[in-house]
Amino acid sequence: MPQYLALTYTPDVDWWAPEHAAELGEYRQFAARHADAIRASAVLHPTGTATVVRVEGARGGHVVTTDGPYAETKEALTGYYLIEAADLDEAVAIAAEIPAARNGAVEVRPVIVAR
Amino acid sequence: MTPVPTEHDALARTVRVEGARILATLVRTVGDVRLAEDAVQEAVVAALGAWPVTGVPPEPRAWLTVTARRKAVDILRRERVRPHKERDAALLAELEAPDVPTDDVVRDDLLRLVFTCCHPTLAPDARVALALRTLCGLSPAQVAAVTLSSEAATSKRLTRARQKIATAGIPYRVPEPHELPDRLPAVCAVVHALYTAGHAPVDGPAAFDVDVCAEALRLAELLHELLPDEPMPAGVLALLLLTEARRPARLDDRGDAVPLQAQDRGRWDAAMIARGTALLDASLCRTHGQADVYQLQAAVAAVHARAPRWAATDWPEVVRLYDLLLSVDPSDAAALARAVATAEADGAAAGLALLDDVPAGPRRDAVRAELLARQGRPADAVRALDDALAGPATDVERRHRERRRAELARDAAGVVDAGRVASG
């Protein structure tokens, strides 16, 4: 069965903050409703906690880490669900129920499955 | 300008139309748009080589089906590196079966292909290119000419679209009835865009080597035939028929554009108008008088079709319909058309006032010129036409504007002379 990664783009917030508890609850309800289709998922801390890693030059080169290269954008990658679905229509139907689809956007990407 | 259709063109058309029909079934069988297209393409080439010599076989579809399947088998054997060995074995067996699909099967497959090519998750320009390629059977070069794009860009767009269908898993199926409201707009938009591309290209010579309007009309007929109870395809077909009905009067004997107001309405196709009007009425019944963009545009065309002369047009009704259209789907073309209708209903000054809200462009400037001329300001009209002529236009439009400019320049000179006589 094909797999799709549903990436959620929403306002860049701290999901642990009490004011987001209700919204987080909606995500939990979504996940419970589609437990059969969801293979993995994660909620991410805000982009302010991100670290970008690059290796300069060839393999084994100097490791350079920076604070996220993020300009202040309205929406950031804040989580993902790995979904199993028969086809894109089914994946889109599930993704449309993720609260992020209302409060931001969900990007659905087909996953390369090893042959 | 339009090349005279030859026997070869008629043959090529049969091959193209039947090719698209068998493609639909082959896509379902092999589950791969590109492979099916390549196989059908090779079968089409074979037919174009053989039929002029042997004559068209009694059952062209059967001939093409069997040939395309054989070509698909050849391609599968050629591409032995393909990953799904077992599936391919089953596939080869199915392809070598002798039965030719029935009309019902072809019909369902065609509907699947329409909805796959027009899937809302494909970019709108990709949907149009894919429809021209797979549903109308145009070559990438022809698709590029119709969509005013380069052949390289078109090929890339087609490849990307097919890749997305295959890897993202866009299903090859007809949507359930409850899904149709979400899915039909994308399909109807493609059919309408095809017709518009053939009807009003932005610039360049008007003559394509394929009649894109006829192709769009064919698709609209097909969609309505496949989904007879759906109002939106009926509205699209009504709009295309009512517009196409005017085609015989749109160009004069020299191939110059004749504006609607000067068209010989006796040359309009009465049968097409009658059918378009009936379809529009029936589809409006189904939507309980709540009109979508296609029904509204068809209603405008129907008002024109009812008027025996330009001057007898129900202009307040046309203005009302364009107001509705602009509230449902604002566009520059509709705003421009509303300004024209308003000028007819309430005078040139009212039309000119509305033109200030229409974004600049050659078609707006040409309308402004006509309204200024009507106000007795030929010199201003010439300046507006100069603006119009500075922008892109079809050859036919350009000739019309140049002719009008010459006439208005003469009028302007006359006004100056008269002024001199009066003051001297």
What are the residue ranges spanned by the domains of chain B? 1-101, 103-203
Architecture of the domain delimited by B103-203: Orthogonal Bundle (1.10)
Q: What is the pLDDT of residue B13?
A: 76
Instruction: Determine the distance in angstroms separating the CA of A111 from the nearest CA of chain B, rounded to an integer.
Output: 8
Question: What phi and psi, each to the nearest 5 degrees, are found at residue A5?
Answer: -100, 120
Contact A110 B169 (CB under 8 A): yes
pLDDT given for residue B77 in this prediction: 81
User: B 69-88 residues with CB below 8 A of A?
Assistant: 83
Q: Please give the Cα distance from B17 to B138 (Å, whole number).
A: 10
Instruction: Express as a percent the part of chain B with pLDDT over 70.
Output: 91
Q: How close A100 gets to chain B, by Cα (Å)?
A: 18
CA distances from B300 to A16, B107, B297, B305, B322 (A): 57, 32, 5, 9, 8
pLDDT digits (tens, 9 = 90+) for B17-58: 788 878 888 888 888 888 898 899 899 889 888 988 888 888
Band (B416; pLDDT cuts 50, 70, 90) = low
Determine, yes or no, domain membership for A115. no
Chain A interface residues (partner B, CB cutoff 8 A): 2, 85-89, 91-92, 108, 110, 115
Q: Across residues B380-384, what is the average pLDDT?
A: 94
Q: Indicate if the pLDDT at residue B231 is higher than 90.
A: yes
For A106, phi and psi rounded to 5 degrees?
-120, 125
Round to whole Å and give the CA distance between B379 and A32: 73
Is A87 in a helix, a strand, or coil? coil
Longest dimension (CA), chain B: 98
Q: What is the pLDDT of residue B230?
A: 92
Contacts A–B by Cβ distance under 8 A? 22
Asked if B178 is an interface residue toward chain A (Cβ–Cβ < 8 A), one would say: no
- Which pLDDT score, from 0 to 100, does residue B209 have? 47
Cα–Cα dist B298/B291, whole Å: 10
For position B421, what pLDDT does the model report?
A: 55
The residue in chain B having the minimum alpha-carbon distance to the alpha carbon of residue A93 is B179
pLDDT at B7 over 70: no
Show the low-confidence residues of chain A (pLDDT under 50).
none
Domain that holds residue A11: 3-110
Preferred mutation among B122, B170, B176 to probe A, highest tally of A CBs within 10 A: B170
CA B406 centroid distance within chain:
33
Q: Which residue matches tokens 């054989």? A: B70
Q: Show which of residues 115-144 on chain B sit within 8 Å of chain A, judged by CB atoms.
A: 119, 121
* Residue B424 pLDDT: 42
* Res. B302: pLDDT tops 90: yes
Structure tokens at B384: 């507006």
Chain B: give the shortest CA distance to residue A89, in Å: 7
Q: Are B169 and A88 a contacting pair at CB < 8 A? A: yes
Which of the pair, B99 or B288, is modelled with greater confidence? B288
pLDDT score of A80: 97
Confirm if B126 and B161 have CB atoms less than 8 A apart.
Answer: yes
DSSP-derived letter for residue A56 is -
List the CATH number of the domain containing A8.
Answer: 3.30.70.1060
- CB–CB of A89 and B168 under 8 A? no
Token pair for B123: 């970019």
Helices (H) and strands (E) in chain A, counts: 2, 6
Average pLDDT for chain B? 85
Q: Would you state the pLDDT for residue B108?
A: 82
Mean pLDDT of B98-113: 80
**CA distance to partner chain B, nearest, from residue A113 (Å):** 10
pLDDT digits (tens, 9 = 90+) for B334-379: 999 999 999 999 999 999 999 998 988 888 999 999 999 999 999 9
Number of domains in chain A: 1
Q: What is the arithmetic mean of pLDDT over B186-205?
A: 75
Cα Rg, chain A, nearest whole Å: 16
Q: Return the CA Rg of chain B.
A: 25
